[in-house]
Amino acid sequence: MDLSTVQIPVERVAHSKRSEVDFNHLPFGKVVTDHMFICTFRDGSWQDPRVVPYQPISLDPSAKVFHYGQTIFEGMKAYKDTEGKVWLFRPEDNQRRLNISAKRLAIPEVPKEIFMEGLKTLLKTDQDWIPTAPGSSLYIRPFVFASGKGFHASPADEYTFIIACSPSGPYFSGKVSVRIEETYSRAADGGVGFAKAGGNYAGQFYPTQLAMADGFQQVVWTDDHHHEFIEEAGAMNIFVRIGNTLLTSPTSDRILDGVTRKSILQLAEDEGIPTEVRKIRVRELVEASQNGTLKELFGAGTAAVVSPISSFGYQGKRYELPDLENSYASQFRKRITDIQYNRAKDPFGWRFPVE
């Protein structure tokens, strides 16, 4: 296939399901659009990219994704501005990160042209599905999984790359309180924590259920050695504000290099907010909370955008965060969403037109 001239054929649905959807009360990630993009890796190359009606996937029971969790994904959003123009936010970063994940999971990399042309063709096909109600957007889920067969713990010989879309409302409803994890871990040194690998998420479900049973919404992961340093949350990187300083953990092979995280770091620099990217001890959070210098804790991610955290739990105690006017979280949320929805200038070149 000549990648310089990728042409993506589109097979349209006979009847759109769009009229069945209440766009003013959208849940997160449950409603799907009419179409999906699909492409298959077979005989050593990615083949047959196309947009087709959203439809079930048929797989042999020995497909390796079922057994060895050989699967990676991305999370992106498309935004519609008041003039109906469609925008993505730093999509090439997601494309690059998908391939970083692919490499670590022994999945063949997806050529940039296929990713970008597939995505654009799909978005143009389903552009009427992009919601415009405040706080809503089109969540986009590119994923690649091992569709090749065999009960043998080794990489598959066939992979399927799909992009699906879901018009979605906010990820969290209400305040977010987090538990700082002291027992379970998300990632090992030398492991796959930096990749958006399926298994990283399944491993979080049980500890998160335990946290939820105690009244939290998310877990903040810590290092697996001594649970001494905070790392990130289930689907968000974590920021801390102590005094006026903004802190976040450095990325590593255990932490996802979030697009929202790095955008916030750039905005902070732009606004002259003193920032430190360094390891953050749990003890430091607790002490700052006790002496009143802990001003904010917030999560940052494509799905959750910027989500203020109202309290954290640690060693059986709850630490409340103050309710600030004009918080860093609210400032960053506004600046990022203004850029995403084309309501403000885009000095960094993050906005990407779908046309």
Among the listed residues 136, 185, 248, 307, the single contact to a second copy using CB under 8 A:
185
Choose which of 63, 165, 197, 259 interacts with ligand PLP (CB under 6 A).
Answer: 259
Rounded to a whole number of angstroms, the minimum distance from the CB of residue 209 to ligand PLP is 17
DSSP string for residues in 265-334: HHHHHHTT--EEES-EEHHHHHHHHHTT-EEEEEEEETTTEEEEEEEEEETTEEEEPP--TT-HHHHHHH
Q: Which residues of 41-72 are buried (b: 16+ CB within 10 A; e: fewer)?
A: beeeebeebbbbebeeeebeeebbbeebbbbb
Site string for ligand PLP, 159-198 (x = CB under 6 A): -------------------------------------x--
**Which of ligand PLP, a second copy, none binds 237 (CB below 5-8 Å, type-dependent)?**
ligand PLP
The phi, psi pair for 224, rounded to 5°, reads -80, -5
The answer to whether the beta carbons of residues 1 and 7 sit under 8 Å apart is no
Site for a second copy in 20-39 (CB under 8 A): 28-30, 32, 36
Beta carbon nearer to ligand PLP, 156 or 300: 300
Work out which of 42, 150, 286, 310 binds a second copy, going by CB under 8 A.
Answer: 150
Compute the distance between CA of residue 224 and CA of residue 239 in angstroms, rounded to an integer: 20
Interface with a second copy, residue 348, by CB under 8 A: no
Closer CB to ligand PLP, residue 241 or residue 261?
Answer: 261
* Beta-strand relationship, 176-180 and 305-314: parallel
The binder of ligand PLP chosen from 78, 114, 122, 236 (CB under 6 A): 236
Question: Is 73 or 129 the residue whose CB approaches ligand PLP more closely?
Answer: 73
> What x/- string results for residues 17 through 56 when contact with ligand PLP is judged by CB under 6 A?
----------------------------------------
The 10 Å Cβ neighbour count of residue 174 is 8
Q: Does 232 bind ligand PLP (CB under 6 A)?
A: yes
Q: Which helix (H) or strand (E) holds 263?
A: helix 259-270
CA 30, CA 338: separation in Å to the nearest integer?
25
305 binds a second copy (CB under 8 A): no
Alpha-carbon torsion (217, 223, 224, 226), positive or negative: negative
For residue 129, give the amino acid letter: W
Cα–Cα distance, 59 to 56 (Å, whole number): 10
As measured in angstroms, the least distance from the Cβ of 301 to ligand PLP is: 3
**What gap in Å lies between CA 164 and CA 54, rounded to an integer?**
8
Phi-psi category of residue 150: left, alpha or beta, with phi > 0 → left and psi -120 to 50 → alpha:
left
Identify which of residues 98 and 235 has a Cβ nearer to a second copy in the complex.
235
Q: Mask 205-234, x = binds a second copy (CB under 8 A)?
A: xx-xx--------------xx-x------x
Q: Which is nearer to a second copy, 190 or 349 (CB)?
A: 190
> Which residue among 237, 251, 275, 337 contacts ligand PLP (CB under 6 A)?
237
Which residues in this chain contact ligand PLP in the complex, by CB under 6 A? Answer: 75, 196, 232, 235-237, 256, 258-261, 300-302
Binding site for a second copy (CB under 8 A): 28-30, 32, 36, 54-62, 65-71, 73, 103-106, 139, 141, 143, 145-146, 149-155, 162, 164, 166, 168, 181, 183-192, 197-206, 208-209, 224-225, 227, 234-235
